[in-house]
Amino acid sequence: MKASATRLNVAALSCILSALIVFTCSCSSPRPAYRVALVGFEGGELGEERNALADYGKRRVEAELGVDVDFIMPGSGDEMQSLFLSGENGYDLVLSLGQSSSLDMLFARPADVQVQAAALDFEISQPVPGEDAVSLIRYRVEEGSYICGFLAGWLTSRGGHPLTNTLPLAAFIGALDDPLEPYYDGGFSKGVKTAAPTGGTHRYFIKTGGDSAQARAYAEDAIKKGVDIIFCTPGTFNGEVIKVAEEKNVLVILVGADRSGESPKHVLTSLILRDDNAVFNAVSKALSGDLKPGKQVWGIGEGTWSLAPFHEHDNYIRKDLKEALRQEEEKVSGIDFSS
């Protein structure tokens, strides 16, 4: 009888433990992962390069923050609107990259939706739908352009590079249809003047980023005036400026990704727009409740830009110049670019 009672007690205990395990498991079942939709840049070579950098940010978010991220190429308005559907498989955060994708996202986003959204590398002067409810984040490209200008001013005024001459002159070619053009212009010109007080910048403006013929004419004019380094805002016109640089044996500085491969001997460096860091920062802030709606500016503190390596030109960027660039980077966030 004692053995039988013991077996009954063990059986009863087993039932109780089984019930507790089932109850515990049901109570501690994992919540659905935080889900992010990341809408990339439109096609084109530069778009592909920046999408690759954004994809790196996506993988870092997934690895370090435990978040599920779907990388989505720009689509129709209906496809964009579907990103804001609620439910178990809905997204908690929608991120868009660049002007075109962000405008599509903003106009597709329903007014009464609860899904959080942010537009990265976005700037517009006109009102947009939901701008009080969405995070509109501009990269502070004037900081990076200033560093590029400082580099150009130093080299063009002090020499040391076989493709620079004795005149302390640089050039700026900007596309007026780029809403960031004034920031690139102000930063670059100020950087040149800081490094070369007796030097200057010839400034040229084309109507659109696709106006290659006008860009060629401007680049040739600048070189005739003694310019040896040309800074270009993003656009397909860059390709024509590179051709002129190769023909006339001068240097160019480009924007977007590391573009040295387009002309290793003539692309001095590139201002890289760090979409990977912007994506990581946006998701991190959203998770902590710190991603606030409205217009914001992210700069060196958020890591939204960096200079590309100098590659073949590194031997001509002497130690004193590298140290000067480091010092300028340390104080660039405090520079007033409004004047």
CATH of the domain at 171: 3.40.50.2300
Same domain, 70 and 125: yes
Residue 13 lies inside a defined structural domain of this protein = no
CA distances in angstroms from 323 to 143, 154, 164, listed in the order given: 17, 12, 20
Q: Closest Cα to residue 250, out of 225, 264, 273, 230?
A: 230
Render 97-164 in DSSP notation, one character per residue.
EHHHHHHHHHHHS-TT--SEEEEES---SS--TTTTTSEEEEE-HHHHHHHHHHHHHHHHHH--STT-
Give me the phi and psi of 232, to 5 degrees please.
-120, 135
Residues 325, 200, single domain; the answer is yes
Distance separating alpha carbons of residues 180 and 178, to the nearest angstrom: 5
Show the domain range for 66: 35-133+276-301
- Same domain, residue pair 87 and 166: no
Domain count within the chain: 2
For residue 15, being part of any structural domain is answered with: no
Cα 225 to Cα 140: distance, rounded to the nearest angstrom: 31
Output DSSP code: residue 309.
Answer: P
Domain-located, residue 248 = yes
Kind plus residue range of the DSSP H or E element containing 254 = strand 251-256
In this structure, which amino acid lies at residue 17? Answer: L
Same domain for 254 and 213, yes or no, is: yes
> What is the dihedral angle through the alpha carbons of 45, 81, 61, 134, rounded to the nearest 10 degrees?
100
- For the entire predicted model, the pTM comes to 0.88
237 vs 244: CA distance, rounded Å: 11
Whether 277 and 304 have beta carbons less than 8 Å apart is answered as yes
If asked whether residues 284 and 317 sit together in one domain, one would say no
Residues 150, 194: contact at Cβ < 8 Å?
Answer: yes
SS3 category, 338? coil
Residue 77 pLDDT = 67
pLDDT score for 76? 67
State how beta strands 93-97 and 116-120 pair: parallel
pLDDT at 211: 97
Residues 187 and 316 in one domain: yes
Residues of the chain with pLDDT under 50: 1-31
Statement to judge: residues 86 and 185 lie in one domain: no
